[in-house]
Amino acid sequence: MNLAMADIRHKLGRFVLTCLGLGLLMGVALSMVGIYQGVVSEALALSRSLRADLWVVESGTRGPFAEASRIPGDVREMVARLPGVAAAGAITLRTAEAQAPQGTIRVQVIGYEPGRPGGPSVIASGRGLGGGRFEIVADARSGLPLGATLMLGRNRYHVVGTTRGLVASGGDPLIFMQLRDSQDLQFRLAPAAARRAIAANSAGGGTDTVNAIIARLHPDADPALVAETARRWKHLSALTDQEQSNLLTQSVVNRARVQLGMFTVVLLFVSAVIIALIIYTMTMDKLREIATLKLIGAPDRTIIGLVLQQALLLGGMAYVAAVGLVFAARDVFPRTVALGPAEVAVMAVVITVICLLGSLVSIRAALRIEPQQALGG
């Protein structure tokens, strides 16, 4: 005879409401885990999509994500000739606010040369960039459909393809365009400023500047060795993809990551306290029944089983509600909520441990109930 289930059935409405309430709290904690993972995956999304083995940037910087980096465009040819390099491409990166049909949107613009490293690895719909100018491939997170137009700077761009899940470390959706377009956008001066620069005889008119050169290596090439070779040019720095990834997660998004991590820990602690209180209240509600059970000879394992099973059922059902809630709502979040089977499973283990620990106080209290408390009015 399962007393825990019988008691739950008896107060089913109350139990379900408690589970839903606790599920909301667990849902928030689970969302934080997902957002934490999302920050990391967003930070790495671009570098992973570009499938670069080597990043060549301005000397003395750790660009182009952690610091600003500007190098001449022709460095690409120098890098391409390094031993072990299979292909090299120049890229520019710039955060911009653009006028989209739905309003002003914030995007990260990537300029690259089609046919060379630097473009998106997968096109979700439409096509990649061809030879034509003023075309863009936009990530779905920007809300731009195929065929839409986007006003960037002084020019109008047409969406010819879309990607999925490509965002910058700050969560801004990526927009890919021709390198020449992005250089114009980034480095060409406005007409009035250009006239002033020419009058002052300064070199304001040159735009063959890029932020980084990325290279893919031959399978047998050692990235560290090729990076070391590139660093011999005094005006350049080089990072392997692993170094770039470490930089992204440990420097660029580190503060956000730690903040989210600490908030998640606080939420889990709050959840643990609330779970313990709910289990304690559920147990103390049955004080007379537990005393009666002891009086009629129920062994301790029956009492422990009653409390423990209810605690685990409460935690289990609340967690199922939490998972359902988060998975139903995660696309509504402005930033990626990255939850996979591993995160869900680890969180399930954490919740189980919390329920077990939370029920210890209640079990201790239940075992201290005296059987004579069943007597009298």
Partner 1 sequence: MAGPLVQVEKLSKTFGAGETAVRALAEVDLVVEAGEVVGLKGPSGSGKSTLLNLIACIQEPTAGRLSIGGQVVWNGQWRVPDLRRLRRERIGFIFQFHNLLPFLNAVDNVALAMTLDGVDRTTARQWAGALLDYLQVGKRASAMPSRLSGGEAQRVAIARALVNRPQVILADEPTAALDSERARVVMDLLRQVAQEQQAAILVVTHDEKIFDRFDRMVALRDGRIEADERRAM
Binding residues for partner 1, rule: CB under 8 A, are 1, 3, 6-7, 9-11, 288-289, 292-299, 302, 370-372, 374-377
**Closest CB to partner 1 among residues 213, 303:** 303
* C-alpha to C-alpha distances, 357 to 190, 222, 363, nearest whole angstrom: 65, 50, 10
Nearest CA to 108 among 91, 125, 122, 121?
91
Q: Output phi, psi for 228, to 5 deg.
A: -60, -40
Residue 321 CB, shortest distance to partner 1, in Å, is 23
Q: Work out how close the CB of 364 gets to partner 1 at its nearest, in angstroms, rounded to a whole number.
A: 18
At residue 239, the 3 state secondary structure works out as strand
Q: Is 206 helix (H, G, I), strand (E, B) or coil?
A: coil
Structure tokens that stand for 6 in this block:
């019988």
User: Residue 14 CB, nearest distance to partner 1 (Å)?
Assistant: 12
Distance (Å, whole) CA 108 – CA 178: 14
Q: Which is nearer to partner 1, 203 or 296 (CB)?
A: 296
Closer CB to partner 1, 22 or 306, in the complex: 306
Shortest distance, position 359 Cβ to partner 1, whole Å: 19
Instruction: Please give the sequence-ordered ranges of beta strands (E in DSSP) within the chain, or none if there are none.
Output: 54-58, 71-72, 85-100, 103-112, 125-126, 135-139, 149-152, 155-163, 174-178, 209-210, 212-217, 236-240
The minimum distance between CB 355 and partner 1, in angstroms, equals 21
* Residue 46 CB coordination number (10 Å): 22
Closest approach of partner 1 to the CB of residue 278, in Å: 18
Quote the CA–CA distance of 106 and 184 in Å, as a whole number.
19
- For residue 193, the Cα-to-chain-centroid distance in whole angstroms is 40
By C-beta, is 306 or 322 nearer to partner 1?
A: 306
Comparison of 99 and 372: residue with beta carbon closer to partner 1: 372
Quick one: 162 or 310, whose CB is closer to partner 1?
A: 310
